[in-house]
A and B are shown apart, each in its own frame.
Chain A
């Protein structure tokens, strides 16, 4: 008599166990898939997020940052482009680019296609070095290889040089590649982690402003979407009263959230640039840009 209830419930228990097992089997690959880096799927989801959030913004317009966020801002950008504030830097960059080093060589000797129209391929993963190489880093390495002292990564000469190189690449779609090398995938993943990790006393991540709040105001400024944010680099910022590079943007973002910035071109920043550029693949280079 005592065994009867147990017998009666046995099929139910078995069915429940089978359900739990099936759920575990089904859930396991999903959890693994979520943790396996998949840059192609990431980029697709990233771009879909912004195009759905801002259905009125044309895909190629995301490179205009805050100026893409509403019609008023877009008009401001069009007016600014009549007499762009980055023009002086552009001219200086062109001059610097063609002026020979003391050994007679020029920047053109360090880059494919003489450095013209190649901005969309930077940063790239250097399989020899096992690290990400940004355009800024490549420019300073070029200087050093030719017996010149490196320049500051954040403004002035570096901003002018990258402005010129970006200008010669305008309209070309960002084309960042991740080679079949686990180190490249790791660099991409590190960049992604940096982008989403909260830091600084204000407990902000890059995503707090540029994913959660693009188009919103932070004090007097309208936040830019992360999609295409590096395509416009370097930029003239009214706030800086001058030009600034990607390195300048990263380090000042860190200080603004009360975090001690890393050194320009530290691995974290190089990886961050790799990730952000990759997920903006297909968007045109628009640099140099101008921002409020």
Chain B
């Protein structure tokens, strides 16, 4: 029983650093979000919520909260991708709404 507890304790201790997000994780997540937002910008269709999520990610990273910074970056990336999808699908779909 004591051995089992010791092993469990060792496993938890060794996994903790692996679960916590690092600065490198943030940088990678933020770069992906920024690239998607740049693409949305080229389509002239950025969302204010994407910009807000990117700003929140930077703020969290500056405060050393990389967990939150990665989460915000991922949210920004998802929003940017949704705005790209919107711009792409509206290329022809706008005509459905036209008064004829």
Binding site for B on A (CB under 8 A): 34, 42, 45-46, 49, 192-193, 196-201, 203, 205, 207-208, 211-212, 255, 258-260, 262, 268
Contact = CB atoms under 8 A, between A and B. Distances in A.
B47 A211 contact: no
B94 A262 contact: no
Nearest to A258: B48
Contact of A199 (B49, B79, B90, B100): B90
Interface in B52-100: 79, 82-83, 86-87, 90, 93-95, 97-100
For the complex of A and B, 10 pairs with smallest distance between CB atoms: A260-B46, A196-B94, A197-B94, A49-B99, A196-B97, A201-B47, A258-B48, A197-B90, A201-B49, A207-B97
Given A46-B99, A198-B90, A260-B47, 5 more contacts: A34-B100, A199-B86, A199-B90, A258-B48, A259-B45
Contacts of A208: 97
Given A199-B90, A201-B79, A259 B46 contact: yes
Where chain B touches its partner, the secondary structure class is helix
A199 B46 CA distance: 9
18 contacts: A34-B100, A192-B98, A193-B94, A196-B98, A197-B94, A198-B86, A198-B93, A199-B45, A199-B90, A201-B82, A201-B83, A203-B86, A207-B97, A211-B97, A259-B45, A260-B46, A260-B47, A260-B48
Nearest to A34: B100
A84 B86 CA distance: 41
Interface of B: 44-49, 51, 79, 82-83, 86-87, 90, 93-95, 97-100
A262 to B, nearest CB: 7
Contacts of A46: 99
Contacts of B98: 192, 196
B99 A45 contact: yes
A205 B48 contact: no
Given A198-B86, A198-B94, A205-B94, A259 B48 contact: yes
B32 to A, nearest CB: 19
A123 to B, nearest CB: 20
